[in-house]
Amino acid sequence: MAARVSSAFKGKALVVDNSAFQRGGNEIVRADWLQALEEGNLYRSPILEFEVLYSARNAREHAELRDELEALRPLELSETVVGAALEAQAELARHAAGFHRLPHQDYLVQRSPPPTNSGYCTMTPTSIASPSNPRSPSKASGSPLPER
């Protein structure tokens, strides 16, 4: 398990969403998570910042978390990203009725590309557990957003 998780992280630029952020506290993946963080392979969208800072218990913790989030490289929530997110939603809407009714933050985070990497991976719990196993049941229940 540990070896598989480690190989999943190695060198990949990962966009971290809220649930993936929470995995930093999970003992099973913490070492790899923190290594990726230290190496600068984790990216944050403004949405993650709002969500993490929402969780601050007081003004001091808000300030501390805001500072600590600088550990993740920033991504711009640009017009291009919004356009790509809306296009992904449209694609799902064309697929079947109601298919597109996903949380809007998921569209936006999924369509925020790491700037220095041609690849893309949202660091969801699914991708942490089994990023390269297409037969994994958790893969099937992961993000249904269309591929780029």
Partner 1 sequence: MPTKKRRYTITSDEKVEVALRRTRRSFPPGTSDSKILAALVSRGEEALAQASQAEEDYEQRRRAAAKRLADRFRRPEGLDYAALREASAQWQRG
Contacting range for partner 1; rule: CB under 8 A; set: 65-73, 87-95, 119-127, 137-145? 65-73
Select 22 or 133, whichever has its Cβ closest to partner 1. Answer: 22
Rg (CA), the chain: 16
Q: How far is the CB of 135 from partner 1 (least distance, A)?
A: 28
Q: Which of 5, 46, 69, 117 binds partner 1 (CB under 8 A)?
A: 69
- What HEC string does the chain produce? CHHHHHHHHCCCCEEECHHHHHHHHCHHHHHHHHHHHHCCCEEECHHHHHHHHHCCCCHHHHHHHHHHHHHCEECCCCHHHHHHHHHHHHHHHHHCCCCCCCCHHHHHHHCCCCCCCCCCCECCHHHHHCCCCCCCHHHHCCCCCCCC
CA 125 distance to own-chain centroid: 9
When asked if residue 147 is in the footprint of partner 1 (CB under 8 A), the reply is no
- Site size with partner 1, rule: CB under 8 A: 29
When asked if residue 38 is in the footprint of partner 1 (CB under 8 A), the reply is yes
When asked if residue 34 is in the footprint of partner 1 (CB under 8 A), the reply is yes
Q: How far is the CB of 30 from partner 1 (least distance, A)?
A: 6
Site for partner 1 in 116-145 (CB under 8 A): none
Query: Would you tell me which residues interact with partner 1 (CB under 8 A)?
Result: 18-19, 21-22, 24-25, 30, 33-34, 37-38, 40, 50-52, 54-57, 64, 67-71, 73, 103-105
